[in-house]
Amino acid sequence: MKNLTFLVLILLLSENSINANAKNHKHRKQGKAGPPTASKGRPLVYKNDDNGGDVLDANATPSVTISNTFSVRSYGAKGDGVADDTSAFEKAWADACKVQGSTVLIPSGFVFLVKPMAFSGPNCQSNIVFQLDGKIIAPTNFGAWGKGLLQWLDFSKLKGIAIKGQGVIDGRGSVWWNDKTTTYQTDQEDASDLQGEGEDKAGMPSTKPTALRFYGSTDVTVTGITIQNSPQTHLKFDDCVGVQVSGISISSPANSPNTDGIHLQNSQDVIIHTTNLACGDDCISIQTGCNGIYVHNVNCGPGHGISIGGLGKDGTKACVSNITVRDSTIKNTMNGVRIKTWQGGSGSVQGVMFSNIQVSEVENPILIDQYYCDGHRCANKTSNVAISSVSYQSIKGTYVTNPIRLACSESTPCSGITLSTIILHPSLNAKNDSPFCWEAFGEIQTATTPTVTCLRNGGPSHKQPSNSGGSC
Ligand SMILES: *[C@@H]1O[C@H](CO)[C@@H](O)[C@H](O)[C@H]1NC(C)=O
Ligand SMILES: *[C@@H]1O[C@H](CO)[C@@H](O)[C@H](O)[C@H]1NC(C)=O
């Protein structure tokens, strides 16, 4: 009896969502393309009272099972990898959005072709689950992307959103990676769309989309899934608070340009763990506005390593703090753990710990580059993003080019850099190279291999980070 009272109380507390469910169900009965899908979890029972409201009746025999699962298949998605399933996804999302704790189901055994789509949330109920068991593929025809878009699958302004399952998001990015002048390779389903575009328009737009983005959302979970072959970044979080990423796999070829694995900006309280990242750019890229980022048990490679920055481009102010990366492996990458800033920026990077990182065949395992310059020659400026309190503990393995390079800014030298248990050997075909430091201050806590003699003791006395014009 106690249990029953408890159940009724719970149901009453979630009255809003039940009403939404009930309305939804009535809709479906009227023949709207709605999904009478199997309910996950315990069925809820309601009956109509005489005033037209839905009331709970704990004693009734279950006459109606209310489902909060919306399968895209029930909205007409074909899932044959050829038909355009975008509108089915849009309808399923629109209905799921009205129900608190609902599930959008993308069932296994199907391949859904979905065009660029906004899973827009400002008017949605909270805690929606996107159960991805099947595969979603991006269009590869020029026409689907207009003049170029920044996102393919874009979730925004949600409170509680989870993407889970064993499914795959495939950006089919190879058509974007190839140079515009190279032969355009099209899948069969796109051939008709291409007709009439003209041979010279065969290339894709120059703006390449991120495969999966979350914007302006809280309590975001991404778990289990695979994201592959994105035209650009695979998974991006912008302006999010409370992010959990685990058990996912990201993969694209080592030579695919700008294909970051996970990109974070303006986000707080982010945990990324138990994840495999293989791509053509940074495995994880931490940008301005990030605070409280915890990365552990991640495998990175191929790729460019795990990076904070580039920060302070075009004189901008950047603030990054409280970043931990630990218990991870980095293999066959350009860099290991890197902090990069542009000349002329302001703000700070503060409180970073890299701990227990196993590197193997990494060109530059430990790298701070405050002279970051993307291609052209960049002039030196009188300010920079200040870097302080960065600790490297137990970084072990093999390097290809330079084991330790701390190239700090003359205007705002690095301070509080600590090194302990650093053991880096040249890989089989690499030359022995000595650590390099410039304007780097800190402390060697235990003897390192190779020996570091260039780190300066104490703190920079002549200039303070506040000179850089940006306290965060
Ligand atoms: C730093 O970030 C972690 C999450 O990674 C959080 O648990 C911790 O409270 C933060 N510490 C401070 C001092 O903000
Ligand atoms: C900027 O300053 C650094 C450190 O003094 C120096 O090595 C580099 O050559 C300078 N770059 C330019 C473009 O002047």
352 alpha carbon – ligand 2 mean position (Å): 26
Give the range of the structural domain holding residue 174, as residue numbers without chain letter. Answer: 67-266
CA distance linking residue 127 with residue 97, whole number of Å:
9
Give bridge partners of residue 441 from the DSSP assignment: 456
Answer yes or no: is 18 within a domain: no
Residue 377, C-beta contacts closer than 8 angstroms, at least 6 positions apart: none
Same domain, yes or no: 362 and 229: no
Same domain, yes or no: 79 and 206: yes
CB 305 within 8 A of CB 276: no
Answer yes or no: is 394 within a domain: yes
Answer yes or no: is 421 within a domain: yes
The residue whose two tokens read 């850089």 is 468
- The closest ligand to the CA of 377 turns out to be 2
Query: Which of 266, 300, 334 delimits the end of a domain?
Result: 266
Same domain, yes or no: 452 and 344: yes
> Which of 149, 170, 158 lies closest to 93 in space, CA to CA?
158
- Beta strands (DSSP E) in 312-439 are 317-331, 335-341, 346-362, 364-369, 386-399, 404-407, 414-426, 436-438
350 alpha carbon – ligand 1 mean position (Å): 12
Ligand 2 pocket test target in 380, 408, 412, 463 with most atoms within 8 Å of CB: 380
Is the torsion defined by CA of 43, 48, 53, 57 positive or negative? negative
Q: Which amino acids are annotated catalytic?
A: 281, 304
Query: Which of 231, 266, 301 delimits the end of a domain?
Result: 266
How does pLDDT run across 284-335, given as a tens digit for each residue?
A: 999 999 999 999 999 999 999 999 999 999 999 999 999 999 999 999 999 9
How does pLDDT run across 21-66, given as a tens digit for each residue?
A: 333 433 333 333 444 444 443 333 333 333 333 444 444 444 455 5
Same domain, yes or no: 237 and 341: no
Residue 408, C-beta contacts closer than 8 angstroms, at least 6 positions apart: 368, 370, 387, 414, 437, 438, 439, 440
Ligand 2 pocket test target in 342, 371, 373, 409 with most atoms within 8 Å of CB: 371
Query: Which of 266, 301, 335 delimits the end of a domain?
Result: 266
Answer yes or no: is 34 within a domain: no
CA distance linking residue 365 with residue 174, whole number of Å:
29
Q: What are the helix (H) ranges across 73-150?
A: 86-96
> Which of 35, 218, 199 lies closest to 127 in space, CA to CA?
218
- Give the helix/strand (H/E) hosting 223: strand 218-223
Same domain, yes or no: 230 and 89: yes
Same domain, yes or no: 148 and 202: yes
Same domain, yes or no: 140 and 166: yes
pLDDT at 65: 52
How does pLDDT run across 100-148, given as a tens digit for each residue?
A: 999 999 999 999 999 999 999 899 999 999 999 999 999 999 899 998 9
Same domain, yes or no: 233 and 298: no
Lowest-confidence segment of 94-103, 249-258, 316-325, 454-463 by average pLDDT: 454-463
Same domain, yes or no: 292 and 255: no
Peptide bond into 302 cis (omega under 30): yes
CB 237 within 8 A of CB 259: no
How does pLDDT run across 194-239, given as a tens digit for each residue?
A: 333 333 345 789 999 999 999 999 999 999 999 999 999 999 999 9
CATH (domain of 262): 2.160.20.10
Counting the structural domains of the chain, the total is: 2
- Give the helix/strand (H/E) hosting 194: helix 188-194
How does pLDDT run across 157-199, given as a tens digit for each residue?
A: 999 999 999 999 999 999 999 755 333 333 333 333 333 333 3
Q: What percent of the chain has pLDDT over 70?
A: 79
Same domain, yes or no: 164 and 118: yes
Answer yes or no: is 52 within a domain: no
Same domain, yes or no: 440 and 302: yes
Torsion of CA 127, 36, 117, 311, to 10 degrees: 20
Answer yes or no: is 80 within a domain: yes
Answer yes or no: is 287 within a domain: yes
Same domain, yes or no: 210 and 74: yes
